[in-house]
Amino acid sequence: MEDEQHVRLSIQPQPDATTCGPTSLHAVYRFFGDAVPLEQVVREVPNLPTGGTLGVHLACHALARGYRASIYTYNLHMFDPTWFRPGVDLPRKLRAQAKARGKADPALVSATAAYLRYLSLGGKIWFREMGRRLLKRYLRRRIPVLTGLSATYLYRCARERNDRYDDLRGSPQGHFVVLRGYDPARRLVSVADPLRDNPTDEGHYYEVGIDRLMGAILLGIVTYDANLLVIRPGRDPGTSGEE
């Protein structure tokens, strides 16, 4: 992929097995000239009890630092498609869902609190058709996109158990990477991956077919991922639509 087709975004190795999210966010901060240390981002982004984090936690961190943030969600565990119809009070729906399902799903309660905070900080949530048009909207404008997806599908690797590959007893694993460009002629997306020793054997930077990438994003629903996060510098309270 030629340099003019992807942004010059560099990413550091994630410090441990569960810090792919903060490390990816840190790479986007650095792209925008924000020199916050990686150690600070890792420390400030909340962790889940089971390890790792959620895209909404990354988005809240960005909003608190003065960025704008938009989340495109495909997580049907968290959001019902009918909630994105005109006139629906999304925070009210989130609270009602947590009350109805919270005892059986503690993870949903935690995620609900994070999404309510995100909305209160001015974050936007969109439910849009996953497709090339959506990805190209940002990548062609040289805007990096942070995404939570299925590492198992992206890498075509075995499922994992206790941080080891185990095709029989393992479970699908989620991951965060940054999308930094698109080559329409070859239909390849340029990826910046915080996991240096990943199964692609190509290090931090590689290309992946856009159809395979979209499949990995949608299958992120298995691990409460399945989202795109776009952050931009600066507040713009007067803008209510998509950028």
Q: Residue 180's domain is classified under what CATH number?
A: 3.90.70.10
Please report whether residue 238 resides in a domain: no
Residue 234 burial (CB count, 10 A): 8
Query: For residue 212, how many C-alpha atoms fall within 13 Å in the half-sphere facing its CB?
Result: 14
User: Locate tokens 């340029």: which residue?
Assistant: 190
Please report whether residue 119 resides in a domain: yes
- The reported pLDDT for the residue numbered 237 is 43
Task: Output the CA torsion 200→204→209→213 (10° steps).
Answer: 100
Please report whether residue 174 resides in a domain: yes
Q: What is the pLDDT of residues 111-166, one digit of tens each?
A: 999 999 999 999 999 999 999 999 999 998 999 999 999 999 999 999 999 889 99
Alpha-carbon gap, residue 234 to 231, rounded angstroms: 9
- The reported pLDDT for the residue numbered 49 is 81
The mean pLDDT of 198-212, rounded to a whole number, is: 95
The mean pLDDT of 211-216, rounded to a whole number, is: 97
Q: Is the alpha carbon torsion for 45, 48, 54, 56 positive or negative?
A: negative
Look at residues 148, 114, 94 and name the one whose alpha carbon lies nearest to residue 46: 114
pLDDT confidence bin for 242, thresholds 50/70/90: confident
The mean pLDDT of 9-22, rounded to a whole number, is: 96
With a cut of 90, say whether residue 172 has pLDDT above it.
yes
Please report whether residue 11 resides in a domain: yes
Alpha-carbon gap, residue 177 to 189, rounded angstroms: 12
With a cut of 80, say whether residue 191 has pLDDT above it.
yes
Residue 179 burial (CB count, 10 A): 26
The mean pLDDT of 218-226, rounded to a whole number, is: 93
Q: What is the DSSP letter of 14?
A: P
Q: What residue type is assigned to position 91 of the chain?
A: P
- The reported pLDDT for the residue numbered 60 is 98
With a cut of 60, say whether residue 4 has pLDDT above it.
no
The structural domain count of the chain equals 1
Report yes or no: 194 and 27 within 8 Å, Cβ to Cβ. Answer: yes
The mean pLDDT of 82-108, rounded to a whole number, is: 94
Please report whether residue 212 resides in a domain: yes
Alpha-carbon gap, residue 83 to 63, rounded angstroms: 23
Please report whether residue 166 resides in a domain: yes
Instruction: Give me the chain's average pLDDT, please.
Output: 93
The mean pLDDT of 58-63, rounded to a whole number, is: 98
The mean pLDDT of 81-106, rounded to a whole number, is: 95
With a cut of 90, say whether residue 218 has pLDDT above it.
yes
- The reported pLDDT for the residue numbered 241 is 61
Task: State phi, psi for 31 to the nearest 5 degrees.
Answer: -60, -35
Joined together, the tokens standing for residue 80 give 């019902």
- The reported pLDDT for the residue numbered 1 is 41
Please report whether residue 241 resides in a domain: no
Task: Output the CA torsion 216→218→224→227 (10° steps).
Answer: 100
Q: What is the pLDDT of residues 77-87, one digit of tens each?
A: 999 999 999 99
Range of the domain at 205: 3-233
The mean pLDDT of 41-45, rounded to a whole number, is: 97
With a cut of 90, say whether residue 103 has pLDDT above it.
no
